[in-house]
Structure 1
Amino acid sequence: MFQDYEPEATRRNAGDAESSRASRGWWERNADEYQTEHGAFLGDDRFVWGPEGLDEAEAGLLGPAGSLKGLDVLEIGAGAAQCSRWLAAQGARPVALDLSHRQLQHALRIGDDVPLIEADAGALPFLDSSFDIACSAYGAVPFVADPVRVFREVRRVLRPGGRWVFSVTHPIRWAFPDEPGPEGLSVSASYFDRTPYVEQDEAGRAVYVEHHRTIGDRVRDVVAGGFRLVDLVEPEWPDWNSQEWGGWSPLRGNLIPGTAIFVCERD
């Protein structure tokens, strides 16, 4: 069912339950459009960390491609499981988890070669120490009110020494309008305002929620979740990428970072 109104954009508090309901509903309504618009860029079996186009095959943030063979890997917020499909091609044993049933239907449309799980990242349906690696390319983390709870769940299902790598919108972007052109280059809000961005319906119910954390907040959350931060990657905009994706664009990407990737390890 498609909404016949224009949601109201605001900044207000939104807790775990409201954020989870909003995310599930948003992706159920918008998965088709998202895959139509971005499917060619994402590919069917490519691991892309963000709109800049940084490819895991090049970055090796999970480890050298040859080292992934035989490893159990959990992808959180997998969407149509493109990243998991790439992992399977490297010989890994991926499991693709997403909150949205419709997104996972797109994963099945592309292929049935990866196990799919519909679940919330804050309550992972796996036994302790089930995976060697967990990863998330813009999945789950930006949309949850309590990222530490998610990180602790990830730590629980990882084996000792396991790696957790996730990408999010770069926190500095919250100080700028979400526009790809020149109007998106002037600071319009406080970087330190952590009030969530919420789109709500006519009854005031959230239909989309995104949570802002500063770089320092993210680092503290990683530590509170039981991880060591071993790298923080801020991809530069490559010359080959001429696309606009929401507020991401070559103009902005050449001046300010758009993505932050946190590379963490479990002791």
Structure 2
Amino acid sequence: MIQDLSHLQDPEPEATRRDTGTTESSRASRGWWDRHADEYQSEHGAFLGDDHFVWGPEGLDEAEAGLLGPVSLLEGLDILEIGAGAAQCSRWLKAQGARPVALDLSHRQLQHALRIGGGIPLVEADATALPFADASFDLACSAYGAVPFVADPVQVFTEVHRVLRPGGRWVFSVTHPVRWAFPDEPGPEGLSVAASYFDRTPYVEQDDTGRAVYVEHHRTLGDRVRDVVAGGFRLVDLVEPEWPAWNSQEWGGWSPLRGNLIPGTAIFVCERA
């Protein structure tokens, strides 16, 4: 699911840029989403819908985008949603006749999936160690789930490659890498470059003991492409959704003002090599 809800943390943690490894990143993500799942679903649940497949704050819908392939061909396919949150995307996939499985690191997010219902199989697990047999799925997808929060995304991609069948498609969305050079502000103050695009140092929010409570990892566009290839995939398409005229919301650093000037989301469409 879509991130950037760090303003909900109370008391306010210290924001910094520092190195952080796999274990610390995973622990921080699990704790953060467990603490903030309620606020997240309350604030953004209506925009996401209970059974829609929305790729990001711009509102690009899979029903129109068809990034997983033609909607008419989803019926009967086994599909893994990674970082599923309340399983909104999986619920839409099931309505198309697919057989989705929704996986998330956060127990509380999956409780919201149970609350909404729909009979989606739910799995609580880390995306770097998928608890499935080889070649279990036809497709895999992730709308702002897992990839931005792990220290080594190739671990995720390698696992996805393992559980996909030959020719399987893997589609995931993340914050567009160019946005890391700009302040995370939706107004005019967020339109000037404030940091190096090439600084890969993770963004960390930590408590007064120095323990990370939120971690997000920056990769350049080139890094993402190389990670995809290293994970055993072929990049088929890279989609940068434009901000639509109907969308007037502000969501963290996303807004109509910024969305009409710089990309906010990058969607990578990959196929298992």
TM-score (norm 1): 0.99
Distance between the aligned counterparts of 2:37 and 2:199, measured in 1?
29
Distance between the aligned counterparts of 1:9 and 1:181, measured in 2?
20
Q: Describe the SS at the equivalent of 1:127.
A: coil
* Deviation per residue, 1:90-143 (Å, 9 max, x gap): 000000000000000000000041000000000000000000000000000000
**What amino acid maps onto 2:185 in structure 1?**
E
Q: Which of 20, 25, 39 in structure 1 is aligned with 2:26?
A: 20
The match for 1:121 is 127
Write the mapping of 1:1-267 to structure 2, written as runs, cut at 5 A: 5-267=11-273
Runs of 4+ off more than 6 Å: none
Q: Describe the SS at the equivalent of 2:69.
A: coil
Q: Describe the SS at the equivalent of 1:86.
A: helix
Distance between the aligned counterparts of 1:259 and 1:243, measured in 2?
15
Number of aligned residue pairs: 266
* Identical-residue share of aligned pairs (%): 87
Distance between the aligned counterparts of 2:68 and 2:11, measured in 1?
42
Shift of 1:6: 1.6
Distance between the aligned counterparts of 2:47 and 2:20, measured in 1?
32
Distance between the aligned counterparts of 1:228 and 1:77, measured in 2?
22
- Work out whether residues 91 and 118 of structure 2, in 8 Å CA contact, stay in contact via their aligned partners in 1: no
Distance between the aligned counterparts of 1:234 and 1:141, measured in 2?
17
TM-score (norm 2): 0.96
What's the Cα RMSD here? 0.9
Rate the CA distance shift 1:182–1:160 in 2: closer, same or farther, 3 A: same
Q: Describe the SS at the equivalent of 2:119.
A: coil
Distance between the aligned counterparts of 1:184 and 1:25, measured in 2?
28
Distance between the aligned counterparts of 2:91 and 2:261, measured in 1?
33
User: Which stretch of the first structure deviates more once superposed, 248-257 or 4-13?
Assistant: 4-13
Distance between the aligned counterparts of 1:236 and 1:120, measured in 2?
31
Distance between the aligned counterparts of 2:71 and 2:91, measured in 1?
13
Q: Describe the SS at the equivalent of 2:171.
A: strand
Distance between the aligned counterparts of 2:247 and 2:70, measured in 1?
24
- Work out whether residues 133 and 163 of structure 2, in 8 Å CA contact, stay in contact via their aligned partners in 1: yes
Distance between the aligned counterparts of 1:4 and 1:62, measured in 2?
38
Which 5+ residue runs of structure 2 have no aligned equivalent? 1-7
Which 5+ residue runs of structure 1 have no aligned equivalent? none
